[in-house]
Structure 1
């Protein structure tokens, strides 16, 4: 359980990125989101961001020295992650301010910058793990996995809140179903590459398949796909209960997947 803070941090940070981009995109393209709801969602990103930062420091031997992580920006992906993620959360604060001021034009501009910085932050986070000493991590799958978590959780998080506020005017299910399909393809390619790789990679694949949490993840994954399939085809299924249920089971699925990511890693 030593890696639990990292599991929570990576899941939350990726959820925030996907949620932020969804809110910003819906606001710019479709409008119709009330000031109160937009402000509420944006504030929730700040709260989740604060939690993620606090949790991430629990993984450090000396949490109060966390600020030193930015000192090696030129050579360390960890330093870049800390810098860009901190900037990402800081920019969300400005974005939230423009929701409070109800300034759509400035909100749109700061949203562009915030989204770009957020993408760089998650890219930096993925690069930390793409190291030759752990074959199962050292590939583009890690990059895909981190960004797909953003696509799976972020839009559904925003959709659930908009449904609660009765302001959901766009069918979010299509985005989520596409992300689920891509995730399934990536998983197949990933495990195929593990079985064709180094002995340590093969061992990671075997450990994963033997773990009960992997099969629980598959069940939750399929459940979310069925729920979203129903909501995509029929408007009456685009409700608070469906979006909340789909988000909840996918959150469990991604949490279990990230836990196994750390748990089954085999070093050379």
Structure 2
């Protein structure tokens, strides 16, 4: 495996987008500046970590800027542009919230622009893989999985953060986060099922990928599904129930276990994504 920089880049950027979007939706009209800033800093930190990871893959990072003249034909050029756009608007969002610049409506409007840039970045990121010489990546399931990753990590991280900060009343938005996480879990499972069907009916390279998934990478593949299902399908409702019943003892441990399960599941899935690719003609 020589793809750790790409694994970290894609996971960190998608997590950054997911946390930003989920937190802004849940805290749209929230009075607590502290809550908004906490998730903004987390999203910003993950975004920076992802960009730094990508630099180790590029070799000569400044060469990436030379591709900016190919926006009309190159998905990589569009990815670089949208990464910069999401980063700049995200940093500006942090400054606007921290300094409370303008009205809440103005800051929320800026958050919408930042969210759209992030969601567009995930789509463009997926298209880079769907237009390669690796048949296992060219299916629409690549796009669906990338969005599911952002949604699962985003909803679980924001949910856990809100639960750990609860005082008297149940934090607003927990039910929406649970429903959102379940929807993203369904999307992830559907995408993996569609991908499996595609691999079994496509060419020899795709079938070779299917053989790798069913063989030496099967344990990691299924651990992805088990971890994500356990995190969102079991731990999240359990934590939600404890918050509703005001059983807050050991809440950071429960919330941390939830996020860890989802994150480990997504990491396992991304490792399998890269490790089982087979190039056309090989």
Taking structure 1 as the reference length, the TM-score comes to 0.92
Q: Deviations over 1:164-209 (max 9, x none)?
A: 2227322222211221122112211210111111111111111012
Larger displacement relative to structure 2 (257-266 or 131-140): 131-140
Establish whether residue 257 from structure 1 lines up as the match of residue 269 from structure 2: yes
In the other structure, the counterpart of 2:73 is 75
Q: Deviations over 1:48-67 (max 9, x none)?
A: 21111111011113234333
Tell me the secondary structure at the aligned position of residue 265 of structure 1: coil
Q: Deviations over 1:73-110 (max 9, x none)?
A: 22110110011111101101111122112341221110
In the other structure, the counterpart of 1:137 is 137
CA distance in 2, matches of 1:33, 1:203: 54
CA distance in 1, matches of 2:203, 2:23: 42
CA distance in 2, matches of 1:47, 1:228: 24
Larger displacement relative to structure 2 (43-52 or 5-14): 43-52
Taking structure 2 as the reference length, the TM-score comes to 0.87
Matches within 5 A, 1:108-187: 108-131=108-131, 133-166=133-166, 168-171=171-174, 172-187=177-192
CA drift of 1:143 comes to 0.6
CA drift of 1:244 comes to 2.4
2:139 and 2:198 in contact (8 A); partners too: no
Larger displacement relative to structure 2 (188-197 or 95-104): 95-104
Structure 2: gaps spanning 5 or more residues: none
RMSD: 2.0
Tell me the secondary structure at the aligned position of residue 136 of structure 1: helix
In the other structure, the counterpart of 2:61 is 63
CA distance in 2, matches of 1:88, 1:246: 27
